[in-house]
Each structure stands twice: as C-alpha cells, then as structure tokens.
Amino acid sequence: MATQKQIQAARENIKKAQKTWRNMSKSERARSQPEGSRRKAPGRGSDGDYYHVAVRNKSQFKTFRTHDVGDPGGIQRVAGQRKSGTWGTVKWLIPKEWAHMKGGKLIADSDDARKVLEQLGSAPVHSSADMFEAKPRPKVPEKDKPTKAQQQARQENIKKAQRAAHQRGH
C-alpha cells in the first residue's frame, strides 16, 4: 500500500504534468503523442470503415458515447451530452459495406442504412473524405403530439406489459 508521502508526490507530479500540457500549443501536444502529428481525426481519411453523417455540431456537447443500433458491428450512433445534461445525436456511423458514395451523395445498400438516411431532416451532403453533413430529424410541435407512431408504440407497450403480468399470474 502506498504511503501518504508517495500519494502526495504522485499528486504533485500529476499537477505538474497538467500544467505543462495546458501550456503546450496544439502542434506541441501532437508531437508529444506516440502517433505524432501524422494521425488524422476519425473520418478525415478515406481508409476508414464507416461513413460519418454529422447531424449536429460537436461543439454543442461535452461528453460523447457511441453505441450500436441494431446488429453489432453495424450502424452506430454517436450521442453527445450537453452542458444542460440532455442527450442528442451528434452523428451516425454507417459501415461502408452498407452504403456507397455516388456523385457526392450517400446511397444506402442495406435496409438499416436506408432507414437511418430516411429519418434525417435532409439528404446527407458530402463535405470531405468520409464525412457527410445532414440536418437532424425535424422537431414535432407539442400541439401535434402524440403522433400516430407514439400512440402505436404506447399501445404496444401496454399490451406487452399486460402479457408479462398475465404470465406472472397477476
């Protein structure tokens, strides 16, 4: 077990490293990393496995999470948490085997990719390499809620809960 003296020394070393890092320029930070300044950001080169379809600016978010939507290894959703604590979709990652690029447009080759592209608020526009930009899904005004889809989902959830309660013997 570490002594109090060792713990204090470790804390001071961490503070020194953080101060040094804050005072470095971006290029100095890049050179200090094992990959160096040659490393490209995700989606910036054309040799990746996914097309990146950005729907919101990442500067609006403080924390990010990526999770599979549907089949593992398929389409992924990158969600971001805002300073207010709410979450939103930052971008979609669509495997290159499930879509292709033609004339600056992203064309879906699978049903899952087609569904994601149809739900976007606009058609994805090619920006660079594997990056596309689109508008987020349109917002539905509160006066138009619940929508037909929401009503149907609620009914299905009620029926599912009733079946589960019936199976438990209630």
The residue assigned the tokens 């490393």 is 39
- CA–CA separation, 98 and 108 (whole Å): 6
The mean per-residue pLDDT over the stretch 39-50 comes to 71
Q: What single-letter amino acid sits at 48? A: G
The mean per-residue pLDDT over the stretch 66-75 comes to 85
Q: Is the pLDDT of residue 167 over 70?
A: yes
Tell me the whole-structure pTM to 2 decimals.
0.60
Q: What single-letter amino acid sits at 128? A: S
- CA–CA separation, 88 and 61 (whole Å): 9
Q: Is the pLDDT of residue 67 over 70?
A: yes
